Amino acid sequence: MTVTAPTLDTAQILVVGSTEWLEAFTDAVRSQTGASVRAVSNASEALDTVGQISIDCVVTEYTLREKTGVELVNCLKETTPSTPIILGTTAGSEAVASEAIRAGVTDYIAVTESADQTMDDLIERTADAVRIAEETTTRDERAQQFEAVFQDTQTATWVLDRQGSLKRVNQPAREMIDQDCDALIGETFWTLPWWDETETARQDVRQLVAEAREGQFSNVVVFQAPANPHRVLDLSVRPVKNDRGDLVSIVVEGIDVSEQVRLQRDLQESEELHRVTLKNMTDTVLITNDDGEYTYVCPNVHFIFGYTAEEIYEQETIDELIGENLFDRDDLAENRVLKNIECTATDKAGREHTLLVNVREVDIQGGSVLYSCRDITKRKQREEALATLQELARSFLYAGTHDEIAQHIVEDSSNVIGVEASAVYLFDADANELRPAAHSQTMRDLHGPLPRVHADGDTLPGHGFITGSTQVFENIHNSDRLENRATDLRSACYIPLGDHGVFVAGSDAVGAFDDVTRELADLLAAAAEAALDRVTRESTLRTQERQLQQQNDQLTTLNQINETIRAIDRAVVEAESREEIDHAVCDLLTSDDRFRFAWIGTVDPTTETLEARTWAGNEQGYLDGHQFAVGASGTEPAGQTAATDEVTMVPNVAADLREDSWRTDALRRDFMSVLSIPLVYNDLTYGVLTVYASTRDAFDEMAQTVLTELGETIAAALSAIERKNALLTTSITRLVFGIEDSTFILSRLAREADCTLTYKGGVQQTTDRSYVFVTVDGAAIETLQDSASGLAGIDDVQPISADTDGGVLRLGLTEPFLALELADHGAVFREAVASPTETTLTIDAPERVDGQTARQLVTDTFADVTLQSKQTLDQAFERDIHAQFLGALTDRQLEVTQTAYYSGFFESPRESTGEEVAALLGISPPAFYQHIRTVQRKLFTAVFEEANHPVAGQTEQVE
């Protein structure tokens, strides 16, 4: 029996196995159908073949050499799950059939002995398997295609049932409305909220669905309002039928065509706008025949030529309008178009215009030549003005001042902006005013003289400068800031030139500043501002260069001075005497070429004049030929400094030459400037240093500062020399002074307690006070303690010892005590005795220390001082022992010993025990006794280890 299976004609069949029935099946398929059959013997070959070519159906034997047919089915399902598989066997059973079905075979065939009948059935079943697989694949593809369309994010899709009710809606459609789309399922489609509620829109959608129900494809454009009144949808509908041709559903797709509709509307508007533009454009279009007679005149011809279209037609040819021989006819014939032909034409009012003409061959309404004319008069003016402006900018490069630039602006502004009246105001920062730096003659003729104006908002130039904005007036008389109401200016503009000033341009015509003129005026002002900025920068740079040069000169000078100062410092440190210091200072100062002559003088209190101690340099007899009186003013600078202890500087000796006689003497010796410096240390004067230079202003602020500090250094060194000499001398001068100064703390305390106080040494200095021991006679210690506590200069009172009418106190003083200042200069404050009526001080000054120093310290400290006596004593041994002993003690040991001494610890019998003194000092008794024993050992060492010591003698001299 022959079976026809057209489904297999194009199929690719794979046969797996080597049994007889498979061979018969292969032969039958090849003879009865057009299918292509490939036979393999085992599972491995089958899997390789499936991996290489597309197979439409696999027919396999259950029994194979490597694995069973069911195992092959499992492997094929993993590789090609959609390929139909038929499993056959001659030794079938229910178990094999069940296993095959579980593996997912498309069909299971138990092969019988009736081969022909079996082969026909096998071919039919194979054809059915292939057909069913194809139908399944087609359905799947269609379903996938529909789902892809349904999920399209750009297209809204609705699925309706056969009656037109909503079944499904995709996401783009859901996003078009704000309602819950799931709640609309089952509603009639044309009543849904996607459409305009008007009857027309609903009827269009209803008609669309009706046509789909009849099997027709159709579309309609609807507005989506009220959901979105600006959205327009293009709805298309298609019916969906089953295999029998019955309608099963309706699919509606909506595409947003709002943009296309908008573009179409814009295109229509653009076409209308184009028609309006052609009618109203400023380019003039003229068409003539070959003889130059008009066939068309653009309605806007008056914009350029001032004639109406009728007046143009009345002219014979176009040559009357734009001139003859505008172009070569042969060139036009060859190129058909000639562009950018420049020519001049005169309008109806007689004004000349520059035109740019394009000529084209045409064939329009009897015309053969089209002329497109553009007025470039303003452009030409701009080009010419820009060329002038470029030349002006180059001239700015050679201007060196702001006034030169202002003059250039005024001279060339008429060529740039076309107005004759112009002026430039420049800002005067010192006066906060705008001054007229340059102006044209026309500006003066129209406006009159230009005054300086204050840089504020009350005037037009001031307002423009302050606000930094350009002001343009059609008629300047309409401004309430116009200061000159009589001006003939009408149009005017005020353009600020940055921080430099204001540019003013004007005309006697109203409305003279059109857009081109304003633009050119702004460009002119910008170029001028840049030039002014350049001049300012260059001026600033030159100033900075001068300042830098001055600073370099000052630095060089400072280095020279510093070298001299360092040399002086080294010499002062190495000097052994005052004379060495004086000579070193003067010699080293005059070794510098800056200074011509230097000397150091000391005041003679008898004559009130300065006596030269030493000098160096080119003195030229100046010291011998002049008397240096001590005076505050009008005297030689050295005398002024001696009187005031202040630095005196004369930068120019030649000034006031007739007023001060010393200036003439100085000028004869080429002394052009002078600096006099006091040598002061700790309020004591050690002389006056005066330096002379051969140039004016030789002592600048830096040099003055350095030399003033040098004066302090010299004075400190001289003071150190005095202290050193005091330590080396064996002879002293004892000075006894009587003072009547109510402010002296001991005098005040003696008067307050009505007793006698005696200070015999023992001063101690801490960071905030001085401690002194005083002996009290004539008053109880308690009384003194109460009186001392009430005085402002005493902030600590400590009783050391006491008896019936006296004792010893330790006073803490808030002010420095005179003994410390004397010690700084090598003198010793030996004793002070204060009673209610008088006070005396005893001071020892070493012979090599100037006694005048001690006297000056006393007179500077107290108001009324009298020198009662002066004695010369020799105390070499005493000073050596005293210095050796005190140098060996610590501050604490000295404090403990002094307290014990003044408290009567060393008296016999003792007035205070060690425990009591220790309690006064705030230490333990063992610590007190340890300090005492240490001090005693150091004292005995100083006394008994001195092998030879001279016998002290004295010579007394009483003044």
- Report whether pLDDT(79) > 90: no
User: Would the CA dihedral through 879, 880, 881, 883 be positive or negative?
Assistant: positive
Q: How far apart are CA 620 and CA 615, in angstroms?
A: 11
Q: How far apart are CA 802 and CA 780, in angstroms?
A: 8
- Report whether pLDDT(484) > 70: yes
Let me know: does 535 contact 405? Beta carbons within 8 Å.
Answer: yes
pLDDT of residue 847: 57
Let me know: does 152 contact 170? Beta carbons within 8 Å.
Answer: yes
- Other C-beta atoms closer than 10 Å to the C-beta of 509 total 12
- Report whether pLDDT(872) > 60: yes
Containing H/E element for 890? none
Question: Could you tell me the pLDDT band of residue 227, with boundaries at 50, 70 and 90?
Answer: low
Give the C-alpha distances (Å, rounded to integers) separating 204 from 11, 198, 343: 49, 10, 64
Coil/strand/helix, residue 449: coil
Containing H/E element for 955? strand 953-955
Higher pLDDT, 547 or 423: 423
User: Would the CA dihedral through 90, 92, 97, 99 be positive or negative?
Assistant: negative
- Other C-beta atoms closer than 10 Å to the C-beta of 851 total 18
Let me know: does 450 contact 441? Beta carbons within 8 Å.
Answer: no
Higher pLDDT, 877 or 873: 873
Higher pLDDT, 216 or 222: 216
Nearest to 843 by CA among 824, 827, 820, 865: 827
Tokens 């794979």, residue? 14
130, 133, 138, 143: CA torsion to nearest 10: 170
- Report whether pLDDT(672) > 80: yes
pLDDT of residue 341: 92
Within 13 A of 850's CA, how many CA atoms are on the CB side? 16
pLDDT of residue 503: 92
* Euclidean distance between the first and the last CA atom of the chain, given in angstroms as a whole number: 175
- Report whether pLDDT(2) > 50: no
Sheet holding 673-681, edge to edge: 609-617, 597-604, 684-693, 673-681, 648-650
Coil/strand/helix, residue 69: helix
Least trusted range by pLDDT, from 546-550, 584-588, 656-660: 656-660
Question: Could you tell me the pLDDT band of residue 543, with boundaries at 50, 70 and 90?
Answer: confident
Question: Could you tell me the pLDDT band of residue 281, with boundaries at 50, 70 and 90?
Answer: low
Q: What is the pLDDT of residues 324-352, one digit of tens each?
A: 888 998 999 999 999 999 999 999 888 88
- Other C-beta atoms closer than 10 Å to the C-beta of 547 total 10
- Report whether pLDDT(489) > 60: yes
> Could you tell me the two tokens for 144?
């996938």
User: Would the CA dihedral through 365, 368, 374, 377 be positive or negative?
Assistant: negative
Give the C-alpha distances (Å, rounded to integers) separating 767 from 69, 234, 794, 813, 896: 115, 102, 15, 12, 19
- Report whether pLDDT(154) > 60: yes
Let me know: does 212 contact 218? Beta carbons within 8 Å.
Answer: yes
Q: Which ranges in 862-912 belong to alpha helices (H)?
A: 876-888, 891-902
pLDDT of residue 688: 92
> Could you tell me the two tokens for 468?
């930094």
pLDDT of residue 690: 94
pLDDT of residue 502: 92
pLDDT of residue 885: 66
Q: What is the pLDDT of residues 251-278, one digit of tens each?
A: 888 877 777 777 777 766 665 554 455 5
Coil/strand/helix, residue 332: helix
Q: Examine residue 226 and say whether the peptide bond preceding it is cis (omega within 30 degrees of 0).
A: yes
How much is the mean pLDDT over the chain?
81
Q: Is 682 left (phi over 0), alpha (psi -120 to 50) or beta?
A: left
The CA-CA-CA angle for residues 183, 189, 192, to 5°, reads 55
Tokens 């090599």, residue? 848
Question: Could you tell me the pLDDT band of residue 1, with boundaries at 50, 70 and 90?
Answer: very low
The phi, psi pair for 936, rounded to 5°, reads -60, -45
- Report whether pLDDT(809) > 80: yes
- Report whether pLDDT(423) > 90: yes
- Helices 701-728/515-574 angle, 10° precision: 20
> Could you tell me the two tokens for 490?
């009408």
Let me know: does 255 contact 274? Beta carbons within 8 Å.
Answer: no
Max mean pLDDT range (195-204, 391-400, 521-530): 521-530
- Report whether pLDDT(853) > 60: yes
Which amino acid is residue 59, in one-letter code? V
pLDDT of residue 539: 83
The phi, psi pair for 658, rounded to 5°, reads -80, -15
Coil/strand/helix, residue 758: strand
pLDDT of residue 3: 43
Let me know: does 106 contact 85? Beta carbons within 8 Å.
Answer: yes
Nearest to 19 by CA among 97, 82, 92: 92
Can you give 460-518 as a three-state secondary structure string? HHHHHHHHCCCEEECCHHHCCCCCCCCCCCCEEEEEECCCCEEEEEEECCCCCCCHHHH
Q: Which residues of 179-199 are buried (b: 16+ CB within 10 A; e: fewer)?
A: eebeebeeebbbebebbbeee
Distance of alpha carbon 892 from the chain centroid = 60
Q: How far apart are CA 674 and CA 52, in angstroms?
A: 116
Q: What is the pLDDT of residues 617-645, one digit of tens each?
A: 988 888 887 788 888 677 889 999 988 88
Q: Kindly write down the DSSP assignment for every residue of 379-436, as one continuous string.
A: HHHHHHHHHHHHHHHHHHTT--SHHHHHHHHHHHHHHHHS-SEEEEEEEETTTTEEEE
Q: Kindly write down the DSSP assignment for every residue of 73-113, as one continuous string.
A: HHHHHHH-TTS-EEEEESS--HHHHHHHHHHT-SEEEE--S
pLDDT of residue 116: 57
Higher pLDDT, 828 or 749: 749
350-358, long-range: CB < 8 A, 24+ apart = 352/377, 353/304, 353/305, 353/377, 354/379, 354/380, 355/304, 355/322, 357/322, 357/326
Q: Which ranges in 244-376 belong to alpha helices (H)?
A: 258-280, 302-305, 309-314, 319-322, 329-335
Let me know: does 483 contact 476? Beta carbons within 8 Å.
Answer: no
Q: How far apart are CA 442 and CA 445, in angstroms?
A: 5
Give the C-alpha distances (Å, rounded to integers) separating 722 from 710, 725, 726, 734: 18, 5, 6, 16
pLDDT of residue 352: 87
**Average pLDDT score over residue span 598-615:** 88
Let me know: does 687 contact 680? Beta carbons within 8 Å.
Answer: no
